[in-house]
A = this chain, B = another copy of it.
Amino acid sequence: MFIILVYDVGEKRVGKVLKICRKYLNWVQNSVLEGEISDAGFKKLKLELKRAINDQEDSVIFYILRTTKYSSRETMGIKKGGDEMII
């Protein structure tokens, strides 16, 4: 599956959250990562993030696309992320 992850977390936790996410997904923009991930990988990512964030203050949203066949992406302005983007 393809995941788009967006996070809005407290400044003290941003470094740790980004480090965890980068193990599984590609950074594309401030607080946004994306990429293909297996079910097992997604479970591990969520487990690690659960421990890292503060449930009362932070917010992480996962958009899960079971196929990228019906989706595409457009960028306006500069492209910040790498070229691994595949949808």
Partner of A58, one of B49, B59, B70, B77: B77
> Are the CB atoms of B77 and A57 closer together than 8 Å?
yes
Interface size, A (range): 35 or more
**Is A83 in the interface zone, CB < 8 Å from B?**
no
Residue of B nearest to A69 (CB): B70
Q: How many copies of the shown chain assemble into the complex? A: 2
Please, could you name 10 A-B residue pairs with CB atoms under 8 Å apart, sorted by A? A6-B31, A8-B80, A58-B76, A59-B77, A59-B79, A60-B76, A63-B71, A63-B73, A64-B72, A71-B71
Task: Give the interface of A toward B (CB within 8 A).
Answer: 4, 6, 8-9, 28-32, 46, 49-50, 53-67, 69-80, 87
